[in-house]
Structure 1
Amino acid sequence: MNQAERKPNILFIMDDQHRFDYLGCMGAEYVRTPNIDHLAERGIRFTHCYTNSPLCVPARISLATGLDPARLGLVDNTHVLDTRHVTMYQRFRDNGYRVHCVGKLDLNKSDRYNGRYGDRPSTYQWGFTHPEECEGKQHAGSSPTPIGPYTHYLEQLGLLQAFYEDYRNRGKKNGYDQSFRDSVLPTEAFEDCYIGRRAAQWIDTVPDDFPWFSFVSFVGPHAPFDPPTAYADKYRHSQVPEAASGKTDGKPAWVRRKEEPIEPYEIAVSRRQYCAAIEAIDDQIGLILDALERRGMLDNTYIVFTSDHGEMLGDHRLYGKTLPYEPSIHVPLVIAGPGIEAGRVSKAMVQLIDLNPTVGALAGLPAQNGIDALSIAELLLENPGKHHRSDIISSCKHFRCIRDDKYKLIMNSDEYIELYDMESDPHELHNIASVHPELVRSLSAQLEQRFAEVSR
C-alpha cells in the first residue's frame, strides 16, 4: 500500500466574495449550484460559518496561519504574509504532501507580478510545491501587458487588450461594484473557467505516489459582476430577492457614507449577474469532481468549499464587504469526505480560520500549538453534537463585532454601538442598543475578552 492510499488528499475550494445565502443547498431557489449542493448531500453543510475579517488579504492570511487578524494587526489589503508564521501549506508540505494551488492567493497583494506561470519564488516560501498563482479579477484587468498566468493566457488568445479596455471603462463611472455588464470574453476564456480547467488538469495528471493538498481559489463572484453572456442569459429575467432595506437608518456615519444611490431595478440586475457568476463557478467545481472520479480519488479525498467573505449586494443600499453585517461576514461552508456522515446540517458557530487545523487533523498532521483557530474535525468525524464555539468574532478597519446564537454586538471605530436580535431581525434593520444597556455591557465584556485573547 503506497503513501497516497494511507493518507487522504485535501481539495480546498474557495471562491471570492460569496455570501452565505446564495447557494441552492441554503434554500436559494434563485441560483443553480447543483455540484455544491451534491457536496452538501455527500457531507455536512454549516449554517453559521463566519470570516474573521470581511476583506481578502486579512481573511486569507489568517486562514493560512490560523491566527486571528487582530493578533496579526491585519486591517486592510496592504498587508503581506509574514514569513515568521507557519502556514497550513508548509505543514502539509513538511508532512509528505504535494501542495498545489491554482487561482488567487492574496498573500502579498502589493507585489503586482505573479510570474509567467504563477510560480514566483514566494509561493514556494509559503509552502506550495506546485503553484499556479493567478491574478485576482481587478488585478488581471489592471494591466495591458501580462502580469501572471491568466493574462499571459489571454494575450496568447489575442484577448488581453479587449479585456483590459473593458475593465478600464468599468471603473470610470461608479466603480466596479456597480458594473453589471457581461464579460467581453468568450466563456472558455473567463478566468473562473480557466481556473476550473487548470485544477481539473492538475488532478488528471498528478502522480498517485504521494498524497496531495490542492487549494483551488476562484476569483468570482467578486465585483465587477461580469459573467459570460452564456451564463448571464440564463438569469436575464429571473426572479431574485429584493434588497433587505433601502436605507442605512440606525447605522454609524462611516457606514451611511457608503450608501449607494442605486435603484431597485439595478440591484436586481446586479443580483442576477451575481447568480450567473456563481453558476459558472459551480460548473467548474463539477469539472474538478469529475477529474477526481476519473482518477478513483473521490473516496480518499476530503473536499472543503467556502469563501473568504461575503457581499452586501445592495442590502441597505450597500455593496462590497468590509462591513459587519451578515451578507458581508457570513460565508458558506460545506465539507465532504471519508468518514463524514452524508446529508448533515450543523448550526455550530465556526470561524473561517478554524478550517486550518481542521484539514490538518483530517490528514493526520500533528496538532499545532499557539494558534487561535479551533479544529472541527471531531465534530465532523466522531461527535456531531460536540460543542464548538459559543460565539464568533470578526473585525476590519472600522469595526469589531461578536455574534452568538441570538445577538450581534458591533463596536464601531467612531464609538457608535449596534446591537441586533438575529432571531427576530435577521436582516439587521433595528438597532436595539439603546433599549438594552445591560445586554450591551455583557456582550461588550465578552467582545473585549475575545479580542484580548487574540491580541496578546
Structure 2
Amino acid sequence: MNINKKSLLSFLILILLFISCKKEKKEEIVVEEKKPMNILFIAVDDLRPELNFYGAHHIQSPNLDKLAKESLVFNRAYCNIPVCGASRASLLTGIRPTRHRFLNYSTRADVDAAHVTSLPKLLKENGYTTISNGKIYHKNNDDSLAWDNRWFPKGNIRNYKLEKNIIENGSANLAMGGASSHEMAEVDDSAYFDGEIAQKGIEDLKMLKNKNQPFFLALGFMKPHLPFNAPKKYWDLYNRNDIELPESYVRPKSTPKQAFHNYGELRNYGNIPKKGDLPKDLAKELIHGYYACVSYVDAQIGLVLDELKRLELEDDTIVILWGDHGWNLGDHKLWSKHVTFETALRTPMIIKVPGKTKGQKTDAIVEYIDIYPSLTELVGIVTPNKVEGQSFVPILEGYKPEKDWAVSKFKDAVTLIKGDLFYTEWTKDDGIAYARMLFDHKTDPLELDNLAEKPEYQETVNQLAKDLRIKWGKDFLK
C-alpha cells in the first residue's frame, strides 16, 4: 500500500511538472517580439553648419540646439554632390556619383540608380510604414514604389504671400519678385510650406502611434532655400547692423577660375544684379534673410519633436537631421552651392539614437552615402551589397572609425577630403586633370591659398591624385 501511495505521489508530481512546463512554454510563445526602432528622417534644404552646436553663436535655433544635446553631432559630415536632386538621390540609394550619374538638381534616383533598392524601399520591404512629406527627393514622384504615402504642399514653389511679389512672380517657377526682405510678411508660421510640412508630420505621428509596425517618417523642409520667405517675427530676431560679411569675402588669384561660378540660382531674382559682385547692403540683406529662415525652420522642427515626445514615441525613434549640402553666403564672393569649396560640401548632420547618444561630438569624416548602411544596421536590416557607404555605427559605440576620407563631386570637379587636406581635380571623361586645387585646413581653414601648383607640394599632389582615383569608385569613369 505504501509503495502504491509513493508511486501515485510520484505520478502526480510528474503531471504537475509537465503542466507547469507546458504553461511556461505557452507563456513564452505569446510574448510579443519588440518591434524595430522607428526613424524620423529630417532633411533641411540649403542648411549650412552655421549653428550654435558647431561653434557659431549668431543664429537663433533653440530646437536644433536641444536636439544636438541629445544626439551625436558630426563635425565633419560631407555631401557627395553639392546640388539638391543629385545629393538626395545619392544619399537615399547609398551609392556614389560618377561622371555620368547624379549630375544636377533634376536627378531622379529611379532613373540613375534603378538597379539599387533605395533606403525607404528596403525599409518598406521589411515591414516599415514609409511616408514622404515635403522635399525628400527633388521630384516628389521619384522612387514612388518606396512610399506608402507621398505628400507635398500645394501652390507655387516660391511660396510668396505678399501681393506685390505674387503679382510680379505670377505662376513662374523662377521667382522674379525679390529674394529677401521684399518678402517680410506679417503671417502665421503655417502660411508657408514649412509650417504645413510640420503640421502634416504632426498628424502623421498621431496616426503612426497607433499602428503596430515601425515607421520611416521623412520630413523635407524647404527653408532656408531661396527665396528667403519667413514670417516677419523671425526677421525681427536679428539686427542687420550687427551682420558682417564673411572673412573669406575675396577671390584669391591662386584659385583656378573653374572653382567659381556666376551664382545663376540667385541671379534669377528680380532685385539681384545680373553680373558682378553684390552691393554690400544687399549682401547683408541676404545674410539676414538666411538667418531668419533658419530660425523659422528651427521652430517648425521643434513642433514636430515636441509632438514626438508628447506621444511617448521618442524612446522608440531614431532621429536623424541633415542638410542636403552647404551654401555660400558670400564666402569667396559666392552665393548658393554648386562648387567644391568646403562651404558647399560640409553639412550639418546629427543623429539621436535612444540609449546611445547624449550630446557627443565626433571629428570623424563621414559622407552622405554612409547614412544608408548606418540606419539599416541600427534597425537590424541587412544592407544590400550595392550600397557603397560605410556604417558609422562604430562611432556611436565609441570606436575609432576605419575610414578617414570622403569624396565629393560637382560637374568636372572631384574632391578628396583626407585629414586636413582638401584636394580637387577638374577632369574630363579620360580622367586626366586640367586644373587642380589643394588646401590645408590646418593652416588655411578659409581656403584662400591654393597649394596645388607650388613646387614644394608636388609630391603631396601626386599622392593625393592616386588616392582620389582609388577612392572615387570603380564605376566613376563609366
How would you bin the TM-score normalised by the shorter chain?
0.7 to 0.9
In the other structure, the counterpart of 1:60 is: 88
- Conserved? CA contact 1:238–1:272, under 8 Å: no
Matched letter for residue 19 of structure 1: R
1:289 to 1:166, Cα distance in 2 relative to 1, 3 A: farther
In the other structure, the counterpart of 2:228 is: 225
In the other structure, the counterpart of 1:186 is: 187
Secondary structure of 2:91 counterpart: helix
In the other structure, the counterpart of 1:216 is: 219
Q: Report the CA distance between 1:161 and its aligned residue.
A: 7.6
Matched letter for residue 137 of structure 2: D
Matched letter for residue 94 of structure 1: E
Matched letter for residue 442 of structure 2: E
- Conserved? CA contact 1:104–1:134, under 8 Å: no
Secondary structure of 1:415 counterpart: strand
For the aligned residue pairs, the C-alpha RMSD in angstroms reads 2.6
In the other structure, the counterpart of 2:206 is: 204
In the other structure, the counterpart of 1:140 is: 157
Q: C-alpha deviations, 1:399-420, integer Å up to 9, x for none?
A: 1111112111111258221110
In the other structure, the counterpart of 1:449 is: 470
In the other structure, the counterpart of 1:148 is: none
How many angstroms apart in 1 are the aligned matches of 2:175 and 2:215?
Answer: 43
Matched letter for residue 446 of structure 2: H
Aligned pairs (5 A) from 1:327-366: 327-366=343-382
- Conserved? CA contact 1:180–1:224, under 8 Å: no
Q: Report the CA distance between 1:34 and its aligned residue.
A: 1.3
How many angstroms apart in 2 are the aligned matches of 1:170 and 1:87?
Answer: 29
Aligned pairs (5 A) from 1:261-276: 261-276=277-292
Q: Report the CA distance between 1:275 and its aligned residue.
A: 1.1
1:107 to 1:262, Cα distance in 2 relative to 1, 3 A: closer
Q: C-alpha deviations, 1:8-67, integer Å up to 9, x for none?
A: 1100111011112x2111122110111111111112111000000000111011011100
Aligned pairs (5 A) from 1:267-346: 267-346=283-362
Q: Report the CA distance between 1:362 and its aligned residue.
A: 1.1
Q: Report the CA distance between 1:218 and its aligned residue.
A: 0.5
Matched letter for residue 389 of structure 2: A
Matched letter for residue 313 of structure 2: M
How many angstroms apart in 2 are the aligned matches of 1:276 and 1:44?
Answer: 26
In the other structure, the counterpart of 1:240 is: 243
TM-score by length of 2: 0.82
Q: 1:394 aligns with which of 408, 413, 418?
A: 408
1:99 to 1:238, Cα distance in 2 relative to 1, 3 A: farther
Matched letter for residue 89 of structure 1: P
Matched letter for residue 213 of structure 1: F
How many angstroms apart in 2 are the aligned matches of 1:183 and 1:278?
Answer: 14
1:212 to 1:162, Cα distance in 2 relative to 1, 3 A: farther
The runs of 5 or more residues in structure 2 that have no matched partner are 1-30, 264-275, 428-432
How many angstroms apart in 1 are the aligned matches of 2:301 and 2:175?
Answer: 33
Aligned pairs (5 A) from 1:32-111: 32-70=60-98, 73-81=101-109, 82=111, 83-108=114-139
1:285 to 1:78, Cα distance in 2 relative to 1, 3 A: closer
1:196 to 1:72, Cα distance in 2 relative to 1, 3 A: farther
Q: C-alpha deviations, 1:219-267, integer Å up to 9, x for none?
A: 1111122222121111143633532333322222234452751133322
Q: Report the CA distance between 1:186 and its aligned residue.
A: 2.0
33-42 or 324-333, which deviates more:
33-42
**Largest Rg, 1 or 2:** 2
Q: 1:19 aligns with which of 48, 55, 75?
A: 48
How many angstroms apart in 2 are the aligned matches of 1:299 and 1:6?
Answer: 13
- Conserved? CA contact 1:376–1:388, under 8 Å: no
TM-score by length of 1: 0.85
1:338 to 1:71, Cα distance in 2 relative to 1, 3 A: farther
- Conserved? CA contact 2:424–2:436, under 8 Å: yes
In the other structure, the counterpart of 2:4 is: none
How many angstroms apart in 1 are the aligned matches of 2:230 and 2:88?
Answer: 24
- Conserved? CA contact 1:2–1:209, under 8 Å: no
Matched, 1:253 2:249: no
Secondary structure of 1:453 counterpart: coil
Q: C-alpha deviations, 1:164-219, integer Å up to 9, x for none?
A: 4354599677x97x545335572321111111111112112222311101111101
1:87 to 1:257, Cα distance in 2 relative to 1, 3 A: closer
